[in-house]
Amino acid sequence: MKTLLSEEQVRAGVVRMAAEIRERLGPGPLTIIGVLTGSLVLLADLIRLLDMPLRVGVIQASSYRGETERGQLQIQSELLPELAGHRVLLVDDIFDTGHTLVAVCDLIRGQRPVSVHSAVLLRKRGRQQVAPQPDFVAFEIPNTFVVGYGLDFRDAYRNLPYVAVLEPHELAETAG
C-alpha cells in the first residue's frame, strides 16, 4: 500500500474545505447530507469544524459493489430529513465520473430546498463524464483506485486515517 495523502495532509485539506464552506455559505443554518458509506469519516470531521446551526442526514448511494469499476447506481433515500426550505450541503467521499453526485443532487432538488451545494474529499483528474462539478473539493488526485478515510475496497480499509493506493497484489489478495 502506498500513501497518497498522509493523515496530516487529509486533516489540513478538510480544515481548508470547512473554512471555504463557512466563507461561501455564511453563518446561516445548513442541512448536511452525507452519502453513505464512504463519506462517514469526512462527514464526522467536517461537522465538527463548521460553527453554524447544523442538521445532519444521510442518503445511501452506491455504484460500486465491492469492485473497482462502476456499476448501476442505486439510491436509498428513506433516511433523508425534510429538505424543503432548507439550505443543503451534500457531502461525498469522491467525485469520479460524477454520475452519483448529479443523481443525488437531482433527487435532493426534487425536495425543494432553498439551495444545494456539494463537497467532496477527492476529485479524480480526467474521469468526469458530467458537466456539474462539486462546489467544494479538498483534493485533486490522479486517476487511481484509493482507499482509506472512509473509502473502501470490498468493505476493507475505511478506517485508515490517510488515503492510500492499493498495490495490484493487495487488490488480488483482498479479492479472495
Instruction: Supply the residues annotated as catalytic.
Output: 96
Residue 66: what residue type?
G
**What are 30's strand-pairing partners?**
54
Q: How far apart are the first and last CA of the chain?
A: 17
Beta strands in the chain (DSSP E): 2-5, 30-36, 54-62, 74-76, 87-95, 115-124, 136-141, 146-147, 163-165
CA 128/CA 39 separation, integer angstroms: 19
Q: Is 6 helix (H, G, I), strand (E, B) or coil?
A: coil
